[in-house]
Amino acid sequence: MPHGESWFSLLFRGTSLWEIVANVVASLNTMLWGRPDSLLAHEQGFVAHVFGALFVLAVIASAAVVTFEGIRHTEAAVIPEDKLTIRTFFEIFVGTCLSMMTDIMGAKAARSFLPLIGTCAVFILVSNVLGLVPGFAPPTDNLNTTFAMALVIFLATHIYGMRENGFNHVKHLFGPIIAWYALPLMLLMFVIEVISHLARPLSLAIRLMANMVADHLVVGAFLSIIPFLLPVPVMVLGSLVVVVQTLVFCVLSTVYIGLAIQHDEHGH
């Protein structure tokens, strides 16, 4: 299938549901950009990604319900299952996320931000895996999807940074406060730091989107060349990309938030 198209395009295009989603996208673009289409949501290709994201959310919600049913009875859930199930997968996944975050930002902060980082991790992983299924496009190969998640991380970084450190969160952007004669240097440092912070969500979004676009195109090309013989090495490589890109997004997000909420021992 052409890039940006999937089974959702074939199933829903021309239906009333497709038109509703397209109208919502056009309305949002008009509010944000002053026109019904935009660079981020060009023509109708983005509508298929919206259906893909909704499908991923439905899969995650269903898996969450199954997992909750398995751990609702605490006494019975103490003993782990002896085989890989949806419940054990989520237990391992959440435990791995929490361990990774604890190493970066400490146990207390890790528990507080696990719902945010963990949700991003699950959504990115399931979306990336969807791209390995022939005929499906991963929602994460569209800049709208990745930038939305990166923007949430950006806002959380500075909102919680201000909450934990107050004005010191802004003050540290000026670098070391030396004396009045260092003001030009401090202003230059402030500009550089602001640009650096603004570049973070863009780098998060573009890195994830670009890697998933490349991975999806390569896997799709090999599947079209050898449709009856699955190119196993390429699929293995694609699986590694799926996991690595999930890890990179979540590790960097954890680092950004961890740096913002840490308390400066020197009061600066």
Which pLDDT tens digit goes with each residue over 42-85? 445 567 788 888 899 999 999 999 888 877 776 666 676 777 78
Distance of CA 159 to the CA centre of its chain: 19
Q: At residue 232, does pLDDT exceed 80?
A: no
Domain, as residue range, for 211? 79-261
Q: At residue 240, does pLDDT exceed 80?
A: yes
Handedness of CA 122, 216, 209, 211 (dihedral sign): positive
| The pLDDT of residue 15 | 76
Quick one: average pLDDT of 113-141? 90
Backbone dihedral region for residue 66 (phi beyond 0: left; psi -120 to 50: alpha; all else: beta): alpha
The verdict on residue 4 lying in a domain is: no
Highest mean pLDDT among 70-79, 133-142, 198-207: 198-207
Mean of per-residue pLDDT scores for the chain: 81
User: Among 2-11, 132-141, 156-165, 248-257, which is the least confidently predicted range?
Assistant: 2-11
- Structure tokens given for 43: 């023509």
The verdict on residue 247 lying in a domain is: yes
Q: At residue 2, does pLDDT exceed 70?
A: no
The verdict on residue 47 lying in a domain is: no
The verdict on residue 268 lying in a domain is: no
The verdict on residue 126 lying in a domain is: yes
3-state SS of the chain is CCCCCCHHHHHHCCCHHHHHHHHHHHHHHHHHHCCCCCCCCCCCHHHHHHHHHHHHHHHHHHHHHHHHHHHCCHHHHCCCCCCCCHHHHHHHHHHHHHHHHHHHHCHHHHHHHHHHHHHHHHHHHHHHHHCCCCCCCCHHHCHHHHHHHHHHHHHHHHHHHHHHHCCHHHHHHHCCCCCHHHHHHHHHHHHHHHHHHHHHHHHHHHHHHHHHHHHHHHHHHHHHHCCCCCCHHHHHHHHHHHHHHHHHHHHHHHHHHHHHHCCCCCCC
| The pLDDT of residue 44 | 52
Q: How many domains does the chain have?
A: 1
Distance separating alpha carbons of residues 210 and 266, to the nearest angstrom: 40
Helices 107-130 and 45-71 pack at an angle, to 10 degrees, of: 130
- Structure tokens given for 41: 């949501």
The verdict on residue 15 lying in a domain is: no
The verdict on residue 266 lying in a domain is: no
Q: At residue 109, does pLDDT exceed 70?
A: yes
The verdict on residue 228 lying in a domain is: yes
| The pLDDT of residue 265 | 46
Confidence of residue 104 (pLDDT cuts 50, 70, 90): very high
